[in-house]
Amino acid sequence: MSTGPDLSAATWRKSSYSDGQGGSCVEVADGLPRVVPVRDSKVPSGPALLIPHAGWASFVEAVKDGAIS
């Protein structure tokens, strides 16, 4: 069985695209090799998606370019 990285000491930050009303809150953690963990800030003890760095970089660029809103 394969396990992901230990996220217990991860420093999470909320996306600047999350609204300020307590909904649609996405958090990411930086500094892990090869992956960017992403989670729902309303459920911090829940699961995190592990996105490969290259995929995350492509996603962020698409958001910045307006291709994804």
At 16 the pLDDT is 72
CA 20 vs CA 10, 24, 60, 69: distances in Å: 23, 9, 20, 16
* 9-68 residue pLDDT tens: 899 998 776 666 666 688 999 989 899 999 998 888 889 999 999 999 999 999 899 998
Amino acid type, 69: S
- State the Cα–Cα distance between residues 28 and 50, nearest whole angstrom: 10
Residue pair 32/21 in contact (Cβ under 8 Å)? The answer is: no
| Residue 29, strand partner residues | 12
Q: Give the predicted TM-score (pTM) of the model.
A: 0.78
Q: What pLDDT does residue 55 have?
A: 96
